[in-house]
Structure 1
Amino acid sequence: MSQIAILSEAEIQERFHITGSRPVAFTLAGFARDAEPFTVHLEGDFFPTILLAVLPEKDALIFDCSGSLEANRHLLLSKHNVFVGRPGGIHVQFSTGPATEVTYAGAKAFSTALPKFLVRLQRRESFRVLTPRARPLQFFARLANGQLLSLPTHDISVTGIGLNAVELPEGLDVGVVLSNCHFALPDDTQELFCSATIRNLSERESRQGERHWHIGLQFNDLPTIAQNRIQRYIDKLERERRELS
């Protein structure tokens, strides 16, 4: 069982879907600017393409035609198209409806409505698994003002950790480095020590309607032996969850 397979559909959507018209348009515009290659899969055919432009005001994604007239004809008849690419080595996928032929920058191209969301899967080593809620790991760090940070974890991977906070502690911001961090894995006799960089802060709402903050940290200098200990802990969680399923 993969680490992503133990997440619910809602958790997969929360973690790996980019939603909202502005974030989707912004992300696709970056792919177009960098001329990232994609493959468009249509009904009974597929061909390589490049995203050319994003026009949010027209709800339009412009992409390059195929060199095959037959593939272009098939696309104009297709009602459902799936774009798949690996920008930066990370799997990105999104679906669109029918396309129409347009002229862009003096050449033939296709236009389709912007997708409602993008699926962006992280590299396997950065997949995070949820830690037990009943007895969460406790993460400790010292802030720049000398305050002790002590928060329960939400998820963990060999490259980072997520924390839960009822209120956002003062002094925390994206890019801040916490230089004195430590936490203990269950059944381990020694704590893990490292520094960590805050990569994201997001306010969330639980199923019970309670608001809380999620703090995403990236480990900076975690030794390989410590990464191996975390991986063994993740494997243990997977085995336990598999036995309960």
Structure 2
Amino acid sequence: MNEISPPQIVLITGASRGIGLYLTQYYLDKGYIVIGCSRSPSSITHKQYTHFCLDVTDEKAVKSLFSQIRKSYKRLDVLINNAGIAAMNHAMLTPLSTVEKIFSTNVFASFLFCREAVKLMRKRHFGRIINFSTVAVPFALEGEAIYAASKSAVETLTQILAKEFADFGVTVNALGPTPILTDLIKNVPAEKLEKLLERQSIKRYGEMADVSNIIDFYMQPQSQFVTGQVLYLGGA
């Protein structure tokens, strides 16, 4: 008689809104145990969902989160590093405080979560880590120097951690969404977004399902030989 496998445990950062909120509900609907975190409380109430309010750049708070995961579940199967911020200004108009905030959230926090996640994943010799980049990297978009630079760092981090974590049975990959109509781009002029869409092979806005499709691919057991990859949506 075959044993029924326990549901996978997924940790999603930036889970209170936008793509993170969508992914949280999506994986709950698929039967996963989901742990979310963000600065704000979550609107989701579900018996298989636990939410932590924290700053993803706060090392002490992040370590405490992983300690709670270890005590409650004794394992972690998937980390989705979704939390991120953007600032779209000419370099001459960008204060250093903005640069520090973007790198702290997009790069330092991604590293921190990857580092703590692999400590749990290595015990079972299995894990999937998915980071977020952006099409602003290959397109080298004007006005997004700092945002794109931070995501370039995430890509390099992804590729190197893929090598460092391979012996632990943990894959590390990334995806780069095209513009999706979320709060992240609500202040971007429509004209600029249209120009970006014209540069894509498939000239439309991305959809939430496009994102979850790639994450599903990275997560599936058959993708154990896929690591260190960055997949851009829309044909960047």
TM over 0.5, shorter chain: no
Q: Give the TM-score, by structure 2 length.
A: 0.21
Q: Give the TM-score, by structure 1 length.
A: 0.21
Q: Which has the higher contact order (CA 8 A, sep 6+)?
A: 2
- The structure with the largest strand share of the pair is 1
- The structure with the largest helix share of the pair is 2
Structure with greater Cα Rg: 1
